[in-house]
Amino acid sequence: MKRNELAFEFDSAWKNISSREKNEVFEMAEDYKEFLNNSKTEREATREIIRRAEENGFKPISELIENNEKLIPGMKLYSNNRNKGVALFVIGKESILNGMNFIGAHIDSPRLDIKANPLYEDSELALLKTHYYGGLKKYQWVTIPLSLHGIVIKRDGSKVEVAIGEDEKEPVFFITDLLPHLAKDQYEKKLKEAIQGEGLNIVVGSIPFDNENIDDRIKYNILNILNEKYGIKEEDFITAELEAVPVGKARDLGLDKGLIVAYAQDDKVCSYACLNAILEVENPDRTCMAIFVDKEEVGSIGNTGMQSKFFEYSVIEILSLLGEDCSPLAVARTLSNTLALSADVVSSYDPNFPDVFDKRNTAHAGRGVALVKETGSEGKNRGNDANSEYFELVRRLFDDNNVKWQIGELGKVDQEDNGTIAYMIAAYGIEVIDCGVPVLSMHAPYEAVSKVDVYMAYKGYKAFYLNK
């Protein structure tokens, strides 16, 4: 037997791809960029997912409950979790007690949250205080243009949506950094200490209000502008949810336009691929479910994170609408018979930083969707470790459907420190493996992915949904 008949090697997903599929890759990339542009925050992502779902025939579960309707195979439904997460279902022909084909992804991303009492004036500048969200490198967030997104709840209960800085005619915001001429002491600090969290204060104004009798005239001028445009007062910051994120639209990267650079691709790239896959599912044998959750970047906590009961309660609602037993035993059987993919990104090998990667076991941009058997840190602690039998099932499924895939991990064993929602899914007795798109510069203000990897993730997720 020849040596190459025994050997195995991952190579570029662009190789041997048909002209038709190559066109589909680039067409999907244009739609994906639009999705990113409309989904910079978890609220915006939820709204965009629901909009696209409704355009493809999905109806809210609440509507069926109100009309006392029962489900039938082929029906498409969604459940909105406080405008920060959503679950989608396509009802299958088989009993749901036999389990579902389920994919979970998250739609939150590292960012700067505006504090509850943020606005102040200092040295002829008005600034907003922030609290960074998720695992980010603080030094990357200074001296880049920022926009403000979110909502403000006024005292009368009305909601004001805010989005300032994305339009080229609108102002942007900015965090200053020390000039190199005065940075002698800063240079001596460790990288993570060079910029302090309490130093991530955003410049929002510099012109004083035209009234000599008012204190803090620059701050007052900003409040006056906000009141004129949005009808909000300083006290409304207390109940607001405002996020500072990088300005700009998703763009093609490289002369060959094979990559996409954009903010928040972790984990909206997998969310997008999963959404596209389930939108195309029609009359499946097994019920298909997709869930898009919040708070993954801070431990999947709260009532919108994967650790909440939203997933479980959504399944119970479906059981009820199907007229099935909703006892704890029936719910347990449904979940333990379910198969899942944890759709989250994985690090992509970066030739600029080779020392932290095991090149043989790290995903590469352009080699397809990555399967990650184990996650966690310090000896696989706090992570998921997929069963070999299940890994083989997914591998065979992808191979049978011409899905280009590769293996991945975050980095070298002693460097690795990561986690996904997979271990929370596994806690229900569900078979699950991480499966996602490799990302360059993960958690940076701008991240990069390969267009062909996005396409292969979509193709793999769709094959998984249709697997019997």
Task: Pick from 223-237, 344-358, 452-466 the range whose average pLDDT is largest.
Answer: 452-466
Q: Are residue 232 and residue 279 in the same domain, yes or no?
A: no
Residue of higher predicted confidence among 388 and 412: 388
If asked whether residues 237 and 351 sit together in one domain, one would say no
Q: pLDDT at position 3, please?
A: 47
Asked whether residue 46 falls in the same domain as residue 171, the answer is no
Q: Are residues 290 and 370 in the same domain?
A: yes
CATH number, domain containing residue 349: 3.40.630.10
Q: Is residue 130 part of a domain?
A: yes
pLDDT above 90 (res 440): yes
Distance CA 75, CA 154 (A): 39
- Is residue 384 domain-shared with residue 452, that is, in the same domain? yes
**224 and 124, same structural domain?**
yes
Whether 253 is covered by a domain: the verdict is no
Q: Is residue 154 part of a domain?
A: yes
- Residue 231 tokens, joined: 């009808």
Q: Is the same domain home to 290 and 409?
A: yes
Per-residue pLDDT at 162 exceeds 50: yes
Does pLDDT of 5 surpass 80? Answer: no
pLDDT reported for residue 379: 58
Q: Is the pLDDT of residue 351 over 80?
A: yes
**10 and 132 assigned to the same domain:** no
Tens digits of residue pLDDT in 297-316: 999 999 999 999 999 999 99
Composition of the chain by helix, strand, coil, percent to 5: 35, 25, 40
pLDDT tens per residue across span 92-123: 999 999 999 999 999 999 999 999 999 999 99
> How many domains in the chain?
2
Beta-strand relationship, 339-342 and 100-106? parallel
From 211, 246, 281, the end of a domain falls on: 246
Give the side-chain half-sphere CA count within 13 A for 375.
25
Q: How confident is the model at residue 2 (pLDDT cuts 50, 70, 90)?
A: very low
Q: What's the pLDDT tens digit per position in 21-48? A: 999 999 999 999 999 999 999 999 999 9
Residue 254 lies in a domain: no
SS3 343: coil
For residue 218, the surrounding DSSP H or E stretch is helix 217-230
- Across the chain, mean pLDDT equals 92
Q: Per mean pLDDT, which range of 26-40, 164-178, 372-386 is the poorest?
A: 372-386
| pLDDT tens-digit map of 311-329 | 999 999 999 999 899 999 9
Q: How far apart are the first and last CA of the chain?
A: 35
CATH of the domain at 167: 2.30.250.10
Say yes or no to pLDDT of 416 above 60: no
In a domain, 213, yes or no: yes
Angle at 371 between CA 365 and CA 375, to 5 degrees: 105
Residues 173 and 201 in one domain: yes
Q: 254 and 366 in contact (C-beta within 8 Å)? A: no
Q: Do 353 and 436 fall within a single domain?
A: yes
Assess if residue 140 is contained within a domain: yes
pLDDT of residue 382: 66
In a domain, 71, yes or no: yes
Residue 258 lies in a domain: no
Question: Hey, what are 85's tokens?
Answer: 């997460």
DSSP class of 388: H
Q: What is the pLDDT of residue 364?
A: 96
Is the same domain home to 323 and 174? no
How far apart (Å, rounded) are the C-alpha atoms in residues 439 and 348? 5
Asked which of 220, 246, 272 is the last residue of a domain, the reply is 246
* Cα–Cα nearest to 442, from 359, 346, 376: 346
| Integer Cα distance of 151 and 405 in angstroms | 40
Give the per-residue pLDDT at 1: 37
Note whether 46 and 115 are same-domain residues: no
**Euclidean distance between CA atoms 361 and 414, whole angstroms:** 14
pTM of the model: 0.94
> What range does the domain containing 116 cover?
111-246
Which of 246, 274, 308 is the last residue in one of the domains? 246
Q: State yes or no: pLDDT of 213 exceeds 90.
A: no
Question: What pLDDT, on a 0 to 100 scale, did the predictor assign at position 414?
Answer: 58
pLDDT of residue 467: 85
Q: What percent of the chain has pLDDT over 90?
A: 84
